[in-house]
Amino acid sequence: MQSELSHLNEECGVFGVWGTPDAAFLTYTGLFALQHRGQEGAGITINDDGQLRTKRGLGLLNDVFNAADLEQLQGQAAIGHVRYSTAGSNLLENIQPLPFNFSDTQFALAHNGNLTNAETIRKNLEDRGAIYHSSSDSENLMHLIRLSKATTLDEQVKDALRTIKGGFAYLLLTKDRLYAALDPNGFRPLVVGKLPNGGFVVCSETCALDAVGATFFCDVQPGQLLRIDESGLSISAYTTDTQLAICSMEFIYFARPDSDIYGVNVHSARKRMGALLAKEQPVEADLVTGVPNSSLSAAMGYAQESGLPYEMGLIKNQYSARTFIQPTQKLREQGVNMKLSAVKGVVAGKRVVLVDDSIVRGTTSRRIVKLLKDAGAAEVHLRIASPALKYPCFYGIDIQHASELIAANQTLAEMRQTFGADSLGFLSVPSLIKAVGLNTGAPNGSLCVAYFDGKYPTPLYDYQEQYDQEQEKLRRRDEPKHVTTSSY
């Protein structure tokens, strides 16, 4: 099943705070540190003595909020959201937090992730009379909470959490408490911090804790429901059927390098990915360069391991947003041009190892190889610090169709040719797992690597049919097109 709904709520950032007089300002500051997780919309809901008020809008945080807005949003608790969406879903009604005003109470909801049974739930609930305010899958949780027959709000929330499937880090603000919940696989990151004044913060990444002066308290574990209120923080489990499978793309690309996920620093993990890539995919060359900013850590690791000089072969215009985060392919392509330039004085006449963190559609790779060649590079050896993305993801990153993924459609040799590179090599899945180095005992080093190997840690629910059809289409092609991890 594939519709508008399933395109919503991709990678986003959430931030919540409880028990501090400057809640709106801290939420703004925390969201600013999470801006890399979504740039198409932002919002804050404040709890002002039991009254919830929401301001949200399209664009970057600074497009939506000015100093006067923050002045007006006075309160002791708040939740906020930065949103990443894809074509067609850029509607104000979908910008989070989603506010709900019932006759007896108010709620606000912020969600990072993607639900895999959202359409089924919505259809069932609409058949029973539910009226949705948005086309966002996140809204399901609210309807399920309201329809639960349990007698306490805690149990209603748990009931609802047991019904939804997929990837989710949820924040729910009410008049007298803040809930935070993580899906049973912990696909999305979610951490808790403490403010010096005793207040609590729950947010997507530790970089936002640092930004607001909070100290790290704990990672939220898969299947947990946290409740923060006047009496402090209490943690319970809404399910014990859990297994950590954190999205490996968080380590590869999404998260900020200064964040730690389950105790692993993201920059250091990327450096190890680069170092293992140098071991697996060595090449004779004069220098190593990265693609600012997301692959710089991996490029450093490659350079250190290979003994080649690390150079600044490409620079990024500081004033452009991430290129993938654009609604259309044409804009994406224009975005790459506006964003990156080659440093001729560095690369002219040189054999360059160009390290990027990942390849999705291949747009960036084509551009960056050409940029270096146009600047006079003698050879460009493209090295990717992650395995080839061959399968879609349904847990909250924006790759829902195999048809979008160049590695699902071209062999390694074809891709090398498409990019105009002199050679091309990817990191292997075992090396990715080793580089991250999480040792919780869960399969695949506690990572989700389904987009590399097609082995999903959960049923796909509403997406199964679409997935089967797409895979069947790929199978029916003349010859197997999937790449190996060896270089070409």
Catalytic (active-site) positions: 12
Rounded CA gap, 365 and 46, in Å? 42
By beta-carbon proximity to ligand AMP, the closer residue of 158 and 361 is 361
Q: Which is nearer to ligand AMP, 225 or 261 (CB)?
A: 261
For residue 21, whether the previous peptide bond is cis, meaning omega lies within 30 degrees of 0, is no
| Residue 40 makes contact with ligand AMP by CB under 6 A | no
> What angle do the packed helices 363-374 and 412-419 form, to 10 degrees?
50
Q: Which of 324, 391, 463, 467 binds ligand AMP (CB under 6 A)?
A: 324
449 binding ligand AMP? (CB under 6 A): no
Site for ligand AMP, residues 362 to 381, rule: CB under 6 A: 362-365
The pair of three-digit structure tokens given for residue 125, joined into one six-digit string: 């609930």
Q: Pseudo-torsion of CA 224, 228, 234, 238, nearest 10°?
A: -30
> d(Cα 248, Cα 353) in Å, to the nearest integer?
24
CA distances from 325 to 209, 329, 371 (A): 24, 10, 21
**Residue 135 marked as a ligand binder:** no
C-alpha 277/C-alpha 302 separation (Å) is 7
Q: Which tokens sit at 19?
A: 């028990």
- The least CB distance from residue 397 to ligand AMP, in Å, is 4
Q: Does 357 bind ligand AMP (CB under 6 A)?
A: yes
Comparison of 90 and 221: residue with beta carbon closer to ligand AMP? 90
Of 40, 356, 462, 470, which lies in the binding site for ligand AMP, with binding defined by CB under 6 A? 356
Q: Which residues of 197-233 are buried (b: 16+ CB within 10 A; e: fewer)?
A: eebbbbbbbbbbbbbbebeeeebbbbbbbbbbbeeeb
Q: CA triplet 396, 400, 405: central angle to 5 degrees? A: 120
Decide if residue 15 touches ligand AMP (CB under 6 A): no
- Residue choice 115, 273, 359, 412 for contact with ligand AMP (CB under 6 A): 359
- How many positions of this chain bind ligand AMP (CB under 6 A)? 17
357 is known to lie in a ligand binding site: yes
Question: Residue 336's Cα: distance from chain center in Å?
Answer: 20
Cα distances from 291 to residues 297, 315, 407, in angstroms, run 10, 8, 20
Stretch that binds ligand AMP, among 73-81, 215-223, 353-361, 421-429 (CB under 6 A): 353-361
Residue of 278, 252, 277 lying closest to 266 (CA atoms): 252
Q: Is 327 in the site for ligand AMP (CB under 6 A)?
A: no
Q: How far is the CB of 442 from ligand AMP (least distance, A)?
A: 22
Does 117 sit near ligand AMP (CB under 6 A)? no
Closest CB to ligand AMP among residues 22, 250: 250
Determine which residue in the list 137, 398, 422, 462 makes contact with ligand AMP, applying CB under 6 A: 398
370, two tokens: 């050409």
Over the window 253 to 282, marking each residue x when it contacts ligand AMP by CB under 6 A and - when it does not, the resulting string is x-----------------------------
Which window, 89-97, 237-245, 264-272, 352-360, contacts ligand AMP (CB under 6 A)?
A: 352-360
22 assigned ligand-binding residue: no
Cβ nearer to ligand AMP, comparing 44 with 359: 359
CA distance 405 to 403: 6
Is 461 a binding residue for ligand AMP by CB under 6 A? The answer is: no
Answer whether 412's CB lies under 8 Å from 483's CB: yes
The binder of ligand AMP chosen from 358, 400, 431, 446 (CB under 6 A): 358
Residues annotated within the binding site for Mg(2+) are 294, 356-357
Residues near ligand AMP (CB under 6 A): 249, 253, 294, 324, 356-365, 397-399
